Structures are given as structure tokens and as C-alpha cells.
């Protein structure tokens, strides 16, 4: 996990004392939050604003008691939290020092130097609560993020979260195994996301229990899901891919999977690199198959995470066959290919009514690492085809020479894209006859993809895009 500016913590304040020093509108807002959390709020101030008086008369949850006197050190004893509203730094420092001496976490509104904790922007679907913090750097930005989340999260999620709290005890009494209970919550979550505005009912609980019990031993046997991670940009993950990552017990991932994509994975999941680095040390496919099947037989939900789409040059057929031979349930979640991602980022149309009626994917090297012997060269030389070549770096010169000999116009536009869709994406553009030499000079980091075809005559437009252009 990367460094955190603040540790997000949700305090249980139900029935506990919270001290607020100050009677301003800002103090009123913090008193309202504390009351909504169930705290008994004690306000100390000589000057009380109208908002605070109205709030004390009708608190959202916990009582709000107004003491028309200054705060004192004795008032801080046995408090769960202390909030101060002071414009003067000296008064703020005195309050923070007294709170800390009493062992009470303290927050002084809009004065981070005197704060042990901060209040973030809140999305309230209680008991589902989301806190957003910018470490005090940009509160307005945090509010904008909150507004986005408010728009995304249906109000009905509050009802489903409340149902989860009610049903947790009953689920423990249902006699289900850990794996079966986990499956219950997966069904619950899928149903809540699909029906956010329908109030959950006891019939839903009974239905989920019946479905889990009906699955029988298959719940215990584990499963394998091949998931396409896309070309690198985490925003290109599909919703199914995100859900799979968040339900994983073990994730077997490739070198091509970006760290940003892995951030979507369940924190508790075991993550194992099984990358197959070209021309370097790596796991054999047989090792990967054996590990994948072994983990699934232990009852694990195994995610085999691959860059791009698992069904395109991802050895998916071998892994699916290994699972089927071991009677392991296997599923596939498709992903955005690097071709699609790169073309979208560059503004390239892969097909065109006037220039390209066909799109083909070709691998740049065979199992032994050389140029494949079974390439359909006439197809590759077709002037009305856009060709995407995967893993082409070492064989591109030979591939271009052979394709030109078979009739491909040596001036056909071509482009090499390194680390497609990522912040450090870089490109080299040249006629196909010159691309291999220019790519070698540029020494772009992998993975590299090459596209060839008439739709790729866009050097000027590529140069204007927001990434490195070699």
C-alpha cells in the first residue's frame, strides 16, 4: 500500500461525551455531526449562534447540551473527542494542549496544526458511510468528490447496508461454511447493486440462503476466473473485472498488469506474480496451470489476471483446458485490448469504409521466439487491412521485410506504441519499411504494439497528443 496522508478511521461515539468549545456556525456544524453519530455533545461558549440553539432544541440523534461558560480542563475529562472553534492561535493551542493532556483526541476547526484528526467530506448512506479527505489541502475539492459520489450512489444503498447489519447474526446461525457465507454476501452485493431502490425483504435473505445451499459442494471447491486487466489505464477496467478483483482470495497476475489496476483488488487477497517476461526468466505455463488448479482445489477463488484481453494471445485455451481437466469451475471476464486502448488514445479508426475493411491481430514471435512460420503473408500484405502485431520488437524487421516481399507497400503507414494508455505512453511513427530501425533507435520500454495500415497516417495528430512522442 502507498503512503497515506491520513488514516481513515470511523469512531464509535454512541452514548459517549463529546466536548465542543465555541458557539459559532462552524461549531454548530461539528456538533450536528457528533450528535448524528450518537454522541452526547456538551458545548462550552459564552456566545451561542442561532444555528446552535436551534440544533440543541432538535438534535439529529444524541443530546446537545449548551453550557454558557468558557471551557475548562475539567470539562475535557472522560471525553471521547474534543472540538474547538477559535480564531486566535493562542487560544487554539491552549485548548489542544489541554485536550491532549487529558488523553482526548482533538480537532481545532480550520487549524490543522492543532489537530489530531480531521473531518472529511461525508457521503451518508448510513450505515454505509464514506469519508473523503484531502489532508486539509483542498476542502472544496473534497466536496466536489463527495458530490460525484452522491450522484453515483443510490439512496437505497442505505436500506441494503441496514439489511446487512440485521442479517449478519442470522447468517451465522444458518450453519454455513466460511466459503458459503462468503458466497451469500456476493449474492447479496450483486442483488443490492442491481436493485438499489427496492427495499430488501426477508424473502431476499431466504432466497440467498437457498441458492447457496443449492450450490452444495461447488461452493467449497473454489473456482478460477480469467480476467482481462486491459492495457494499463485502470479506468478501462470493466465493472465485471472490478467485482472479480474485489472478491478474490488469490490473484495470479502478469508483468503487464499495472500497479494502478492492482489497487482495485481486495486488500486481503494474496497476490502472486506469475509473469511471463519475454526472453527472460519467468514461470512456465505448466507451472501456472498447476498453481492455479492447486489453489482452486483448496477452495480458493482464484483470479488469473492478464494484461489486455485474456482470450487474445493470453494462453487462455491452455488454462481453461487445465481447469476443465481438473473439474474446476472456470469463467472468463474479457478486457479492453491494447489495440483498442492505443487506437482510442491516438484517435485512430481501426476500420474505415474507404481505407480498411478488415482488422487482424498477429503475434510477432513463435513459441521459440523467432518469426512465426505460419503467418498468412498475403493477408498481412492486403492494402485494405489494418494489422496489429503483438510482441513485435525482436522480429519486426524480418516481419516487415517478408510482408513487403509478399506485396505490402513499403510506404504503408505504421506506428509502434509503448505502454499503451499509461501516463508514460510513447510512440514511433514511420513507413513500415523504416519502422524497425526507428524503433530500435528509440529503445522504447515494453510492452510494445505495432499497427500497420492506411488509417494510421496521422503523424501530426499523434504529435499533438499528451504523451511522449519519439
Beta strand 81-84 with 106-108: parallel, antiparallel or unpaired?
Answer: parallel
The span from the CA of 459 to the CA of 239, in Å, is 34
Cell of 232: 494499463
CA-to-CA distance for 188 and 86, rounded, in angstroms? 47
Side by side, which strands form the sheet with 223-228? 270-273, 250-253, 301-306, 223-228, 329-333
Residue whose C-alpha cell reads 472544496 in the numeric block: 140
Element (H, E) at 417: strand 413-418
Distances in Å between the Cα of 37 and the Cα atoms of 11, 50, 139, 435 are: 9, 22, 21, 64
Rounded CA-CA distance 152/193 in Å is 11
Q: Any catalytic annotation for residue 331?
A: no
Contact 256, 308 (CB under 8 A): yes
Strand, helix or coil for residue 57: helix
Is 306 in the active site? no
| Catalytic one of 16, 213, 271, 276 | 276
Pairing of strands 81-84, 301-306: unpaired
**Contact at 8 Å (CB) between 333 and 226?**
yes
- Contact (Cβ atoms closer than 8 angstroms) between residue 355 and residue 455: yes
Name the residue with cell 487462455: 316
Contacts 24+ apart (CB under 8 A), 314-319: 314/226, 314/228, 315/285, 316/226, 318/285, 318/289, 319/224, 319/226, 319/288, 319/289, 319/292
Confirm if 384 and 359 have CB atoms less than 8 A apart.
no
* Closest residue by Cα to residue 429 from 439, 417, 445, 415: 415
Residue 112 burial (CB count, 10 A): 12
Query: Is the distance from CB of 62 to CB of 91 less than 8 angstroms?
Result: no
* DSSP type of residue 414: E
Strands 17-21 and 64-67: unpaired
The one catalytic residue in 159, 233, 249, 254 is 254
Residues 6+ apart with CB under 8 A from 82: 18, 19, 20, 21, 76, 95, 99, 102, 104, 105, 106, 107
**Catalytic site residues?**
254, 276
Amino acid at each position: 500500500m502507498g503512503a497515506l496522508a491520513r488514516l481513515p478511521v470511523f469512531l464509535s461515539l454512541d452514548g459517549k461525551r463529546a466536548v465542543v468549545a465555541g458557539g459559532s456556525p462552524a461549531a454548530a456544524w461539528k456538533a450536528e455531526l457528533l450528535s448524528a453519530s450518537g454522541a452526547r455533545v456538551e458545548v462550552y461558549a459564552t456566545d451561542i449562534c442561532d444555528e446552535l440553539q436551534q440544533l440543541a432544541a432538535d438534535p439529529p440523534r444524541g443530546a446537545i447540551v449548551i453550557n454558557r461558560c468558557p471551557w475548562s480542563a475539567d470539562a475535557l475529562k472522560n471525553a471521547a473527542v474534543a472540538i474547538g472553534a477559535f480564531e486566535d492561535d493562542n487560544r487554539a493551542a491552549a485548548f489542544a494542549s489541554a485536550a491532549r493532556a487529558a488523553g482526548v483526541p482533538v480537532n481545532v476547526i480550520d487549524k490543522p496544526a492543532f489537530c489530531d484528526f480531521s473531518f472529511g467530506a461525508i457521503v451518508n448512506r448510513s450505515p454505509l458511510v464514506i469519508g473523503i479527505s484531502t489532508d486539509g489541502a483542498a476542502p472544496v475539492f473534497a466536496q466536489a468528490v463527495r458530490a460525484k459520489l452522491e450522484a453515483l450512489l443510490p439512496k437505497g444503498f442505505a436500506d441494503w447496508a441496514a439489511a446487512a447489519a440485521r442479517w449478519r447474526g442470522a447468517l451465522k446461525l444458518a450453519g454455513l461454511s466460511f466459503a458459503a457465507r462468503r458466497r451469500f454476501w456476493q449474492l447479496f452485493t450483486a442483488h443490492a447493486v442491481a436493485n438499489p431502490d427496492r427495499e430488501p425483504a426477508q424473502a431476499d435473505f431466504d432466497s440467498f440462503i437457498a441458492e447457496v445451499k443449492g450450490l452444495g459442494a461447488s461452493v467449497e471447491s473454489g473456482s478460477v476466473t480469467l480476467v482481462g486487466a486491459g492495457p494499463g489505464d485502470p479506468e478501462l477496467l470493466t465493472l465485471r473485472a472490478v467485482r472479480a478483483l474485489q472478491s478474490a482470495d488469490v490473484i495470479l497476475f502478469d508483468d503487464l498488469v499495472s500497479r494502478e489496476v492492482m489497487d482495485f483488488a481486495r486488500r486481503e487477497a494474496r497476490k502472486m506474480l506469475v509473469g511471463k517476461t519475454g526472453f527472460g526468466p519467468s514461470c512456465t505455463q505448466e507451472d501456472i496451470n498447476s498453481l492455479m488448479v492447486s489453489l482452486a482445489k483448496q477452495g480458493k477463488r482464484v483470479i488469473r489476471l492478464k494484461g489486455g484481453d485474456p482470450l487474445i494471445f493470453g494462453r487462455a485455451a491452455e488454462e481453461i483446458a487445465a481447469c476443465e481437466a481438473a473439474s474446476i469451475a472456470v469463467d472468463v471476464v474479457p478486457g479492453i485490448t491494447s489495440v483498442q486502448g492505443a487506437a482510442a488514445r491516438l484517435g485512430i479508426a481501426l476500420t474505415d469504409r474507404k481505407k480498411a475493411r478488415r482488422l487482424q491481430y498477429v503475434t510477432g514471435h513463435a513459441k521459440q521466439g523467432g518469426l512465426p512460420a505460419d503467418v498468412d503473408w498475403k493477408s498481412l500484405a492486403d492494402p485494405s487491412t489494418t494489422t496489429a502485431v503483438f510482441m513485435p520488437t525482436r522480429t519486426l524487421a524480418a516481419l516487415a521485410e517478408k510482408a513487403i516481399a509478399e506485396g505490402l507497400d513499403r510506404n504503408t503507414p505504421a506506428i509502434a506504441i509503448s505502454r499503451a494508455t499509461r501516463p508514460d505512453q510513447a510512440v514511433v511513427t514511420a513507413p513500415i519499411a523504416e519502422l524497425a530501425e526507428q524503433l530500435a533507435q528509440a529503445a522504447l520500454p515494453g510492452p510494445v504494439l505495432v499497427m500497420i495500415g492506411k488509417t494510421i497516417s496521422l503523424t501530426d495528430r499523434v504529435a499533438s497528443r499528451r504523451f511522449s512522442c519519439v
